[in-house]
Structure 1
Amino acid sequence: MKKVWVLGLGLSLALAGCSDSGSDKEKKDEASKAEENTDTAGELMDYYLNLTTTVNGVDIDLNGYEEAMAGEEPPAGDELAALKESAQASAKASAEAVEGMEIPDGLGDQKDAVESFQSTLAESYNMKADELAKDGEADFTAADEKLNEAENQIKKVLDEAGLVSSSLISDLNG
């Protein structure tokens, strides 16, 4: 009877030891995933901040044109022509800057979504440049819709990464 009891106790201890090692592995896996998510979020945030800073460095004339046209007395004549020309160059430079942004390799599953966002944002700037090349007043309605689409895309990516989403439009025009 004592032998059965000792054998039962030994088996119980062995099983308890096995189940603990399994939970240790699960804890390590969870810690690894948490660290990976933190790294991804950090890379994503660095990418976003770098993108907005870069674009804000080249879209100054485009923002100036849009602000002037929204004013009480929009410019006309030679002043308007000069503003449109510099705004068009600014829009092209902004699209090129966006297209030239390097997407970090560490984004994992979100890399495709960031590539799509980046393409949409560049398209928005190209649409503005095309509108500014036309005679007459530029109509940015379609380009602004494309910019809203880009904002929704990046918000979704930021949310999925556990980051507080920002307003892309405010970050680029603010």
Structure 2
Amino acid sequence: MKKIWILLTAITFALGLTACSADDKAEPEKTEKAETEKAEQPAVNPKSAMYKFYMSIVNTINEADADLNAYEGAEEPTPEDKTAASESAAAVASKVEGLEVPAELKDQKADLDAALKDLAESYNMKAEELKKDAPAFEAADEKFTQAEEKIGAAFESVDMKKPSLAKEL
């Protein structure tokens, strides 16, 4: 009788191991299949895409506007500062014109393209004003504000708060 119990226990144990090892083999296939499906259809998070695009705008402008900021912050800027600021503003405009709205933001593309156009125009206006004896930036600042409003509208369309581009720069 002991031999039968030992034999039945061994058979039960063997069946249990076989069943467990079969599950282990099937599980990686399911995992690989799920990962492949995720790779084929990436989830688009418009908030993340919007934030990344916004930060690319900020970084692009900050890379080229140091001389312009120095001019605007100087108490008595020199003619060399003025020339450098004009070149800086033109460089910013050129870089902003080169930015592309990501495909993930197709619903906000119109607002963002218009905002980029206004930003570039604002910096071009500053570059032109700096070539004058007494530059006035009111029109350029107004154009910049229009760009900020369009960016804000794009942010609100994905349920995000409006950013302040002026504070980031």
The answer for the alignment partner of 2:136 in structure 1 is: 139
| SS of match in other structure, 1:41 | helix
In the alignment, structure 1 residue 54 sits paired with structure 2 residue 51: no
Which residue is 1:83 aligned to?
A: 81
Larger radius of gyration: 2
Equivalent pair of 1:159/1:165 in contact (CA under 8 Å): yes
Percent of aligned pairs with the same amino acid: 39
Q: Is the contact made by 1:95 and 1:123 (CA closer than 8 Å) also made in structure 2? A: yes
* Aligned position for 2:11: none
User: Which amino acid in structure 1 is aligned with residue 55 of structure 2?
Assistant: L
Q: CA deviation at 1:160?
A: 1.3
Whole-angstrom distance in 2 between the partners of 1:109 and 1:53: 23
> Aligned equivalents of 2:57 and 2:152: distance in 1?
14
**1:31-70 counterparts in 2 under 5 A?**
36=44, 39-68=45-74
Structure-to-structure mapping, 1:67-146, within 5 angstroms: 67-68=73-74, 71=75, 74-75=76-77, 80-134=78-132, 136-146=133-143
Structure 2: unaligned runs, 5 residues or longer: 1-42
Partner of 2:159: 162
The DSSP-based 3-state class of the residue aligned with 2:79 is: helix
Any idea what SS the aligned residue of 1:138 has? coil
The Cα shift of 1:108 comes to 2.0
Contact 1:103–1:114 (Cα < 8 Å) also in 2: yes
Residue 32 of structure 1 aligns with which residue? Answer: none
* Structure 1 unaligned blocks of 5 or more: 1-34
Superposition RMSD in Å: 1.2
SS of 2:53's partner is helix
The alignment of Structure 1 onto Structure 2 pairs a total of residues equal to 127
What is the CA deviation profile of residues 24-53 of structure 1, one whole-angstrom value per residue up to 9, with x for unaligned ones?
A: xxxxxxxxxxx65xx222111101001101
TM-score by length of 1: 0.70
